[in-house]
Structure formats: C-alpha cells, structure tokens
Structure 1
Amino acid sequence: MLSSTEFALLRRLATEQSAARVPSIVAGVVRDGELTWSGARGTVEGTPPDNDTQYRLGSITKSLVAAAVMRLRDEGRLDLNDPLDKHVPGTGFGSATIAQLLSHTGGLTSESPGSWWERSPGGSWDTLEASLTSDAVKNRPGSRFHYSNVGYGVLGELLARHRGTSWLDVVRAEILRPLGMTRTSPHPEGRHARGWAVHPYADVLLPEPTPDAGAMAPAGQLWSTVNDLARWTAFVGGHTGEVLHPDTVAEMRAVATVDEGDSWTAGYGLGLQLVRHQGRRLAGHTGSMPGFLACTITDSGTGTGALVLANTTSGPAILALAIDLITIADEHEPNLPAEWRPSEVDPALMPLTGLWHWGPTPYLLRVIPDGMLSLDPVRGAGRASRFRPLGDDAWLGLDGYYAGETLRVGRASDGTPTHLDLATFVFTRTPYDPAAPIPGGVDEGGWRA
C-alpha cells in the first residue's frame, strides 16, 4: 500500500493499543484474497510480535467448525433443517435443527453448566451431555437469537460422529490444511503471546490460564497468527479455494437472525457474525477468551477485510478497530473497477437476452460472467435476481426475491423462446402476450383506452 495509507493504518492501531493499554496487538488488512498490510504494537517476551506470533482465536473457532458442517451438508450427509436428534440422538434438545445451532437460534443455554468453562479444564462429551438437562433449553428453538457456546460444543460432536474422528482432526484435514493455515493449532506452538488481564486502575498484569476446554473446545479453543487468519479472512470474503463453493460461503454470510432494534445493525448467519456499518455489509467473527481478544471481518462488496489479535482479557474495541482498518484502506486506496473486456458467451443464450415482461412490468435479461443470467426490472430495484444454469433450460435463483426458485424457458416448436416461467410467474416478450400460458388468461378484447 501507499506509505500514507500504511501510516494511517498503523496510527489507528497504535492509538488503540495505547488508549486501551494492550500488552501487544497485531493486525492486518486483506484485499482480493491477499494480506496487503500488517502492523504490530507492544511486545511479546520483550520484542514486538510479528505475523507468525500465535494468539488465541476464541470464538472465531466457531466459524471454522461451521465451515466443516457446511461441507457435510454439501456432500448430502445432512440437511440444515434436520433436527439434532437425527445425527446426535438422545440429548434433551434434539428438536433444535442444525441451522438453528449454527445461527444461535436453537434456544440452548449460553454456557455449559458447572464452573466457568473458559478458565476450567473441560471434560468429555459424555460429561457435557449429562450436564445438559431439560433446563439447558432457555428459549423456544427458532424464536430468537441467543448466543450459545454450548451449541458449538454440540456441533463439534456432530462432526466427530459423521467423520469418525475428533472435531479437531476434521477441521485440520478439511479446513486448515487446504487453506494453508499451518500455524493454527489447539494449543500454542512456537512463538506465542501469553494471555494477560490488565488491572483496571493500575498498569500491572495478571496471567490468565489457558486450559483445554474438552468437549467445549469447538466454541473457542484454537490459536492462530496474522498470516493464517488472513487466509481465513480471504475465505470468508469469497476466496474459498477447494474447501467450499463460493455460493455456500455466501449462504453462510446471509442473514439468519438479527438484533432486536428498529433497524438491524448486528446479526448472525451460519457460523458468521454480521454487521451493518455506514452502508457496509460485513461478515466475520469476534473472539474472546481470558487473556485474548480477536476479530476477523470482511466486506465482500469491496473485497477488503481486516483482522486483529490482542493478548488482553478486555479493553480494546476490537470490532470497531477492525472496521476502521477496512474503512481507512478503502478511503485511502479505493479499488478500481475491474476492466471490462469482451468474453466468450454460449451462442444459445443470446436469444434469451433482452426485454421480458411480468404482466405490464418490463424486465431485462442479461448474460453475466460464468454463464449465469441476471433478471432486473427496467426501473428501480424490484425483484432483481441472478440465476445459475441447471441444464435443460432450467436456472436456479441465487439471490433476491427468487433465491432458490427455478426459472424455466418455454419454447415454440421451432425452439424460439416464447416465455419464462419463474415460480409460477410467466414473463413474456410483450406485456400479457395472449400466445403465452399466462395464468388467468388474457382478455380477448385486449388493451383499450
């Protein structure tokens, strides 16, 4: 980046470290899938931390677990609407669905019963399950957002049962290694920051414990580095490699539940926290464990993401800092639009393009990259959607009003496209074409004054 941009980013980081009294803090900016800036303040064992210094991720671990669950879904091993009982039978909350557990709407208690799990050695799944009596359900499943660390302990057990190995081995094999996250581990390895609590009224420190969380580990066990977390930030932004299809990650970023304000500013998808901030739609996750704070957040619209890792129990506004880093990067160096260039288009798609009408409302159908179609109203936003080919003149809606719906092309005997059938709505070349199979028919008198 430009030196002026780098200084602005470093100054923002330095201001937070100084004002919040953070022992050490590291951060990075990711653009177009690559780490383009990183910075650090404070010290680890007397020297500044670097991009390979490990910090604890806390609840960012949940997003990695969620990605592994989505792989099971994409393989057809489960449906997100399946009740938990279908995969982990015998619990006292088996009616909650997989999607509800992923989005914290399953109604489960926020913390595991017993002592504070983040500071206590964890037990086995059997011990955790035995502690989750009928009182573990605090809200009707699906009724509201209620953040549940326990829910992700349960999802870790689901992964283990499907793959026949531990949740950690699943995440290592299916997420970490393919993304090149070689410095992400359940316990610190090599150079790492120690977790500290900073006294609220004096500049002194208290070391925090970092026990193994056992069956609760899928909720917040992992440690990582700037370099590794940058790869995950890029993944959330859509650079998914062979781990998940970009459409699946977009599904994870989609809103499943939102806060209770008049206009939502925070929400949750499938394993990802969502934020609306000054016109931006951001997705990622924060993390906190005793001694550590972490954040990864990305704006898939601009392709810019940011990450922050700190070794303090509390103090810095870590989400606000990450959002500010994105904002600084985009304001100082806005992305140039991609150059337009002509591209190969299947000639069979050309007759579908142009003007279509839903009743009297005109729409334009265009061919867009990757052999997809875009259907947009001529005026205003309306029911705009993109469609992916399914074959045999069928197309799947990807977003907007028609997400998940099927568009089918009707043709004359000579193969000429005559109408589009989209979720029972019939689009025609002219408004209410009497030759098309419009539900309810067309008045024989036609249009009149």
Structure 2
Amino acid sequence: MTTRRSVLGLLGAAPAMVALPAAAETTETTKTAKAAKTKDVRSFERFLADQAAQDKFSGTVLLAHRGRPVLIRSHGMAYDSAHNTKDTIFCVASISKIFTAVAVAQLAQAGKLAFHDPLSRYLDGFPDKVTLHHLLTHTSGLGRPALGSGPPPTWQSFDEAMTGTLDLVRSTPPQFTPPGAEHRYSNDGYWVLGAVVAKVSGLSFFDYVREHVFRPAGMTRTDYYTKPQVLAAKDIAHPYWTQPSGARVDGTASPYFPYTNGPAGGVYSTVSDLLAFTRSYGKVLRRPFVDLITSGKVALPPASLPTQTNFYAYGHVDAIVADQRVFGHSGSGPGMANRLDVFPSADWVSIVLSNYDTSVDPIVAAAREAITG
C-alpha cells in the first residue's frame, strides 16, 4: 500500500474546457445572462482547483447544458503512475442504483411485473408483505444493518456474489416491521431487486443491464467491472482510502476490496457516459415511467446539502434546490465520493466522480450554485 499525500499537490490532467459554439444573440438580455453564467462556471472552476490544491479532491467533474459539456476538469491521480483524465473510469458506487431502478421499471413498462407486487412472487424465502416498491424506496426493512468487521466473502463470480448476498439477506431478521414503516437505506435491498430482474427477464442481472440500459444509452465504457478487471486496467481509477492518520492508501490492495458491489454499487463509468445516460431516459423508458421513477415517494430528513425538499424516489433522490428541481443520486464508500445531479427544467447536468472518500458536498454545492445562481 502506498500513500499519496506527498505526490499530489496540484497534479491533474491537462485542463479541458469545452466551449459551446457561438450562437446568434437576439437580445442584450440573452448576452448578459450568458455572460453571467460563464462567470459562475469560471468561479466554480477556480473553487474546484482550490479543493484539489488542498488535496481534498481527486477525480473528474463535468458540467453540461442541453447535453453539451460546458466544463470538464480532472485532478489528481487514478493510481500511482496515471493521472485522472476526462476518460478515466470511476466506481460510481450508489449511483448504480439508478440503473437497477431503470431495469425494474423497464420490466414494469413491459407488463412483466408491477411495483406493488410482493417480493415472494418472484423469490422464495422472503416476507410476503415486502413489495418491490418497498425495496425501491428503502422501506422494506430487509438487509443487514452492518456488513460485519471480518474480511468480505471470497466470491469469485457474479453468480457467487448474487447467491451469497441473497442467502445473507434471507438469514438476517428484518430491521423493522411492518414494511413501509420506515425509510432505512439498504444496499442489500437493491441486490434483491437485481435478483428479481434476473428472475423475470431470464438473463443474469448484469447482462440484462448491459443489453437493455448501457447499450441503448450509448454508455460504451460503462460496466460492472470486477476486482481482477480493476487491477488489470489502465483506465480505471483505484479507490484511495483515508486512514485514521490522514494518509491515503490504494484500496485495491486490501482484502476488504470486494469482487463486485453488484446492483447496489458495482457500476464503473465515466463522466461522458453518465452524461449520455441523462440524455437517454426517453430511450430506455417511455416518458411516464421516467417521471415515475425520478419523482419523490418518501420524504427524507434534511440532507448534508441545503435543499428545500428532499425525497427518495425509485433509485433516485428528488429534491428542490433554489426553486429548481434536481434529481439524481450520490455514491460513496471507501475511496469514492460521487454525485449525479440533473436539473430538468434548466437542462443542466452536474457530475462529480472522485476516487477519494473525502466528501464532495462542497463541490456539489458550488456546482449547484453556479447552475441555479
């Protein structure tokens, strides 16, 4: 394991500011508004660089308007001999839940399941009163409250990981009853949803998402990469875990680095692929189902980021920030901190992918201010 605090400083990939093509201006008001927005984006760029200079950020950030990148910036190292770039692949952690929810919604759209179906209709050994809606909104009560202190299971395939996780969930008493009584975030619940997708579709969960979500969305460099693939790749960022001493170590050298984080957090992607996905909601789902899965279902307590309202939807968080709706998801864990924000009315997207576990909330807040200001 190697620490990196001594080698980072201001290291980063060559800047990549992608300017929108000039368009004919029709009014002075339009020119003024555009200039103000450019100023806001420049201010955000300086803030991001300062965060990296203080070794608080390593990763790639993208801001886009109407589907076109306005700013792409990369800082820090993907691993000891490679800088992060705009093409670096990061583990997006719980942003992965978006794709699991889309897979479930596709099957509902096709009439192959319904959101309020009981889980026991598809999988044996689970409580009858738990529904797919409960799993999608983290209100099922299913899942382990903690993952334990010992080394993770030594699974060596997606099938082993899926079967082993379901067995663990089945053997764990519900965290609360009845289902729907509480919102309690459950990664295990999304593994269970992955098993439902596999049961209903006749494909492995991972193959289903590759074929029916990633491919039609044009996500050419996105996949459920495994530990061996991460170790062998030259374009995948390694997660750098913060130690109690403050030093950071390469998490891929740890026995705690899992084979896969599966349907709950196992997607690896780039900022460009995630942007492509945000433009593809209408391709992978019909519009009413897009609205359904992204709109709030369960009120959440105040978040670490200021919001006017904050709800959990189906694999999405739905909020109002500065009188604008924002939906997407965060993703965090040892050596990773991410956020996907979609501003549908303003047609902006903000994507932050990091291979540090230092919170990116200040960067997310600054991006939101630049977009809504």
TM-score by length of 2: 0.77
Query: Following the alignment from structure 2 to structure 1, what is the Cα–Cα distance between the partners of residues 350 and 113?
Result: 32
Aligned match of 2:166: 129
Return the structure number with greater helix share: 2
- In the other structure, the counterpart of 2:298 is 257
Which residue in the other structure is 1:347 paired with?
Answer: none
Native 8 Å contact 2:61 2:271 kept in 1? yes
In the aligned structure 2, how far is the partner of 1:323 from the partner of 1:136?
38
Q: C-alpha deviations, 1:302-339, integer Å up to 9, x for none? A: 11120101111x223x24422421331343xxxxxxxx
Residue 230 of structure 1: aligned partner: 275
Whichever residue aligns with residue 194 of structure 1, its letter is H
The answer to whether the 8 Å contact 2:242/2:334 transfers is no
List alignment gaps of at least 5 residues for structure 2.
1-18, 20-34
Offset at residue 55 of structure 1 (A): 0.9
Aligned equivalent of 1:208: 251
Q: Structure 2 CA distance, aligned partners of 1:231 and 1:244?
A: 14
Structure 2 counterpart of 1:66: 101
> How far, CA to CA, are the matches of 1:113 and 1:43 in structure 2?
29
TM superposition shift of 1:133:
4.3
**How big is the shift at 1:113?**
5.6
How high is the sequence identity, in percent, across the aligned residues? 25
How far does residue 30 in structure 1 lie from its aligned partner after superposition? Answer: 2.2
TM-score (ref. length: structure 1):
0.65
**Structure 1: any 5+ residue segments left out of the alignment?**
332-449
**1:308-347 → structure 2 map (5 Å cutoff):** 308-312=352-356, 314-316=357-359, 318-331=360-373
CA contact (8 A) 1:65 1:218 kept: yes
**Shift in alpha-carbon separation, 1:115–1:94, aligned structure 2, 3 A:** farther
Match of 2:135?
Answer: 101
1:292 offset after TM fit, Å? 1.4
**For 2:112, what is the secondary structure of its paired residue?**
coil
User: CA RMSD for the aligned pairs?
Assistant: 2.5
Judging changes above 3 Å, is the alpha-carbon distance between structure 1 residues 47 and 217 closer, same or farther for their aligned structure 2 residues? Answer: closer
1:14 equivalent to 2:49? Answer yes
Partner of 1:77: 112
Please give the alpha-carbon distance, in whole angstroms, between the structure 1 residues aligned to 2:324 and 2:295.
14
Q: Which residue of 2 aligns with 1:162?
A: 200
Deviations 1:246-266 (A, max 9, x none): 2211111211101246x9743
Q: Are 2:192 and 1:192 equivalent residues in the alignment?
A: no
Cα distance 1:67–1:36, how it changes in 2: closer, same or farther (>3 A)?
Answer: same
Query: How many angstroms apart in 2 are the aligned matches of 1:162 and 1:18?
Result: 49
1:200 is displaced (CA, Å) by: 5.0
Q: How does 1:422-441 map to 2 (within 5 A)?
A: none
Counterparts in 2 of 1:293 and 1:116: CA distance versus 1, 3 Å = farther
Could you tell me which residue of structure 1 aligns to residue 27 of structure 2? none
CA distance in 1, matches of 2:299, 2:336: 26
Question: Within the alignment, does 1:268 sit opposite 2:306 as a pair?
Answer: no
Cα deviation, 1:251-300, whole Å, max 9, x if unaligned, reads 11211101246x97432001101233332321101112321111101121
Cα 1:120/1:321, change in 2 over 3 Å: farther
> What is the deviation of 1:43?
2.8
User: How many pairs were matched up?
Assistant: 318
Kept in 2: contact 1:268–1:274 (CA 8 A): yes
Residue 219 of structure 2 is matched in structure 1 by 181
CA 1:91–1:19 in structure 2 vs 1: closer, same or farther (change >3 Å)? farther
Between the aligned partners of 2:180 and 2:132, the Cα distance in structure 1 is 11
Is 1:286 matched with 2:369? no
Structure 1 equivalent of residue 189 of structure 2? 151
Asked if 1:87 corresponds to 2:106, the answer is no
Contact kept? 2:337, 2:358, Cα under 8 Å: no
**Higher Cα radius of gyration:** 1
Shift of 1:211: 2.4
Report if the CA contact (8 A) 2:308-2:322 is conserved.
Answer: no
Higher relative contact order at CA 8 Å, sep ≥6: structure 1 or structure 2? 2
* Structure-1 separation of matches of 2:297 and 2:165: 27
> Is 1:41 the counterpart of 2:86 in the alignment?
no
**Which is richer in strand?**
1
Equivalent position of 2:286 in the other structure: 245
**How far, CA to CA, are the matches of 2:235 and 2:167 in structure 1?**
38
Q: How big is each residue's C-alpha offset from its partner over 1:56-92, in whole Å with a ceiling of 9 and x where there is no partner? A: 111111110110100000000011110111122x223
